[in-house]
Amino acid sequence: MASAMDILRHSHVSAVHFFDGAGGTRSRSCTTRRFNVRANLPFPQKNAKYYKELEAAVDVVHSACRLCVQVKSSLFSTDGKVLEKIDQTPVTVADFGVQALISLELNKLFPSIPLVAEEDSAFLRSTNLVDTVLDAVTAEASSTSKPLTQDDVLEAIDRGGKDAFVFGSKPATYWVLDPIDGTRGFLKASKALYVVGLALVVEGEIVIGVMGCPNWQEDESEKSSSEIEEGREALPGSGIMMIAHKGYGTWTKRLNSKPQSSGVWTRCFVDSFDIIHKARFCIPESQTWESLPLSSTFNVTSNANDVGSSQILLLATCCGSLCKYLMVASGRASVFFLRAKEKTVIKAWDHAVGMICIHEAGGKVTDWNGIEIDLAADQTGRRIIFPSGGILVTNGNFHNQILHIISQT
């Protein structure tokens, strides 16, 4: 097998700067490009500036996914595991547990790097479930000199909360975490997708990203025998890990039972469709096709075998934004379309890790005016983004064409 550097040398590698400051049956893609590497990470340490950070991120996201799988296995038989936030968005013990676990582990390794994350402990403190979260975290946390306590877990959650750190206007370095993106999917007994997403921003630029999706179902027909063999140690429900490093592409491998095992990493590329009506679209579950600008030009169908010239294929996906980024970056979808609705706040953690995975896979992410997403728009907390009109994620081939349609409507 060719070395990782040989593969990188002969394949397209793109880098991105996300600035924080100033019809017939459709195949997965038009052309299939598969580069497989068996290693802890798919590129050499000496050439990847943020190798250690990525290695740590892979480990903690893997542990977080294992926590999710364990909690979900008892979710529908144990009372009290499902909670409700004030805004009526479902949240789980796994949500708090993942944030506590990742916060604890990152703080051990990189204590000077702050964390921007979805949860704070205020609601959890008002319940009798702190011990439940503590047990879930303790089961997956790395060894410590003394047992974890309730205070350790609550403080770890608050390390990523809204009042934990004030950034200011200068470019900043910080982790961005969505403990579970798609909690509605997590709560479904079906195979609805949910994602643990972690990104690192260094001086205003997203440099690495890791997404873990425990119940992602792979297409075995496209896999090599070594990749199929790898699946024998995978977490229940299949599942994949997607990673991206600035300048080194986007890669996936199975969620193995052992995070440090030398899994088979597969290089990811966006699909290569270059005609809008042949592309595969996904949109938020809370929005309808009729509410989006392209509805004036194209109708939608869910039948991949019968897509007319004035139609587009709309994929059924649930839940959350990051699984849509994962689908586009892996070549399963071509476009993710999101409208910024009035009075609805768009959170940075719902998009940051997806943005680098898309670009390193060859795609593009902008707002509806074609402007790159500004992670520093919320100068104080780096928690909110303000994309004009909405967010457009594509394989890059017809990005400008869609922007033109948006501008005309």
- Between 22-36, 294-308, 355-369, the lowest mean confidence (pLDDT) is in 22-36
**80 and 63, same structural domain?**
yes
**Who's near 276: CB < 8 A, 6+ residues apart?**
294, 298, 312, 398, 401, 402
Q: Given 95, 120, 367, 374, which residue is catalytic?
A: 95
How many C-beta atoms surround the C-beta of residue 367 within 10 A?
21
Domain residues for the domain of 360 are 276-408
The predicted-structure confidence for 249-281, as pLDDT tens digits, reads as follows 999 998 864 555 556 899 999 999 999 989 999
Q: With contact defined as beta carbons under 8 Å apart, do 282 and 292 qualify?
A: no
Q: Mark whether 95 is an active-site residue.
A: yes
The answer to whether residue 87 sits within a structural domain is yes
Spatial distance between the Cα atoms of 272 and 279, rounded to a whole number of angstroms: 9
The predicted-structure confidence for 134-167, as pLDDT tens digits, reads as follows 999 999 998 777 899 999 999 999 999 998 999 9
> Bigger pLDDT: 226 or 392?
392
**252 and 135, same structural domain?**
yes
Tell whether the model's pLDDT for residue 82 goes beyond 70.
no
Q: Which residues of 35-66 are buried (b: 16+ CB within 10 A; e: fewer)?
A: bbbbeebbbeeeebbbbebbbbbbbbbbbbbb
pLDDT at 138: 95
Confidence of residue 193 (pLDDT cuts 50, 70, 90): confident
Phi and psi at residue 345, to the nearest 5°: -90, 130
The answer to whether residue 14 sits within a structural domain is no
CA–CA distances in Å: residue 150 to residues 142, 145, 180? 16, 16, 21
**251 and 319, same structural domain?**
no
The answer to whether residue 132 sits within a structural domain is yes
Q: With contact defined as beta carbons under 8 Å apart, do 95 and 195 qualify?
A: no
pLDDT at 383: 96
pLDDT at 255: 84
How many C-beta atoms surround the C-beta of residue 402 within 10 A?
21
The answer to whether residue 91 sits within a structural domain is yes
Known binding residue 350? Answer is yes
Question: What CATH code is carried by the domain that includes residue 255?
Answer: 3.30.540.10
**115 and 203, same structural domain?**
yes
**347 and 307, same structural domain?**
yes
Known binding residue 178? Answer is yes
**257 and 132, same structural domain?**
yes
Q: What is the DSSP string of 74-126?
A: HHTTSTT-EEE-TTS-EEEHHHHHHHHHHHHHHHHH-TTS-EEES--SHHHHT
How are beta strands 195-202 and 36-38 bridged, if at all?
A: unpaired
Q: Given 92, 183, 252, 394, which residue is catalytic?
A: 183
| Structural domains of the chain, count | 2
pLDDT at 248: 96
- Between 74-88, 267-281, 348-362, the lowest mean confidence (pLDDT) is in 74-88
The predicted-structure confidence for 224-254, as pLDDT tens digits, reads as follows 444 444 444 444 456 899 999 999 999 999 8
Strand positions, DSSP E, 259-325 = 264-268, 280-282, 299-301, 311-314
Tell whether the model's pLDDT for residue 21 goes beyond 60.
no
Known binding residue 118? Answer is yes
Tell whether the model's pLDDT for residue 35 goes beyond 80.
no
The residue-averaged pLDDT of 383-389 equals 95
The answer to whether residue 125 sits within a structural domain is yes
